[in-house]
A and B are shown apart, each in its own frame.
Chain A
Amino acid sequence: QKEVEQNSGPLSVPEGAIASLNCTYSDRGSQSFFWYRQYSGKSPELIMFIYSNGDKEDGRFTAQLNKASQYVSLLIRDSQPSDSATYLCAGKATYNTDKLIFGTGTRLQVFP
């Protein structure tokens, strides 16, 4: 069973701090990873995606991928209360390149 695992949290950080969200996956052949933000009562919204080892930056967000360790992370710099949401990590399964396997999500709380 291919799995994507996340700590459910909540992860609490003060405003202005760096929030670090982590995700591990079991399918060593997975090639693509996606981070979605989901506010309560809303649908998931794509934040970042990463295909290659290393870092990918977009504004305050940095996605990191380490395929050797089967580890994906999302860093949020200068965290704001508006970043408070559940962050879902998803990996694309190798046996079906169109199917996403979602983790259970990490709830982030940014307090003023």
Chain B
Amino acid sequence: SAVISQKPSRDICQRGTSLTIQCQVDSQVTMMFWYRQQPGQSLTLIATANQGSEATYESGFVIDKFPISRPNLTFSTLTVSNMSPEDSSIYLCSVAEGASNQPQHFGDGTRLSIL
């Protein structure tokens, strides 16, 4: 499966600031996704990153708070804007190759703490 590099691996940020997380894949992939995993919780999909167009956001997530870019088939970024302590979480990039029924594989995640 594709090798997924996500950075930073962790960060501690001040409230009110923004952080951009990068996801780089070593091969072209059809689908890229961004998830959030809050402490002790399961994974919640934030959005599907669409190449060359606006991301598709899930209920409860908005572009102003979580702007996403996907300029090509191997790279995407997620920005967490105007952070508050409630944004402290692990943010995960996942990718799916080929046909739509292929399994998703996850990057190592970004552990974000907001002070």
Number of A-B contacts (CB under 8 A): 45
Any A CB within 8 A of the CB of B87: no
Interface of B is mostly: strand
**Using Cβ atoms and an 8 Å threshold, which residues of chain B touch A32?**
101
Determine whether the beta carbon of A98 is less than 8 Å from that of B96: yes
Chain B residues with CB under 8 Å of A31's CB are 101
Please indicate the chain A residues that have their CB under 8 angstroms from the CB of B107 in the complex: 43
Beta-carbon contacts of A24-63 to B below 8 Å, as 1s and 0s?
0000000110101000001111100101000000000000
**From B42, B45, B100, B103, residue with most partner A Cβ within 10 Å:** B42
- CA gap between A112 and B109 in the complex, in Å: 31
Contact B100 A98, beta carbon cutoff 8 Å: yes
Q: For residue B105, which residue of chain A has the nearest CB? A: A46
Chain A residue nearest to B45 in the complex (CB): A99
| B18 interface hit (Cβ, 8 Å) | no
Which residues of chain A have C-beta atoms less than 8 A from B43's C-beta?
44, 88, 100, 102
Chain A residues 43-99 with CB under 8 Å of chain B are 43-46, 49, 51, 88, 92, 97-99
Q: Which residue of A lies closest to B41 (CB)?
A: A104
Contact A100–B42 (Cβ < 8 Å): no
The reply to whether B42 and A51 contact each other, CB–CB distance below 8 Å, is no
Q: Determine the distance from Cα of A32 to Cα of B101 in the docked complex, in whole angstroms.
A: 7
Bound-state CA distance A84–B104 (Å) is: 22
Give B105 Cβ to nearest chain A Cβ, in Å: 6
Closest to B1 in A: A46
Whole-angstrom CA separation of A16 from B101 in the bound complex: 34
What are the 3 A-B residue pairs with the smallest beta carbon separation, nearest first? A43-B106, A102-B43, A43-B109
- Ordered by A's residue number, 17 sampled pairs between the chains whose C-beta atoms are within 8 Å are A42-B109, A43-B90, A44-B92, A44-B106, A46-B103, A51-B101, A88-B42, A92-B101, A97-B100, A97-B101, A98-B48, A98-B96, A100-B43, A102-B42, A102-B44, A104-B41, A105-B42
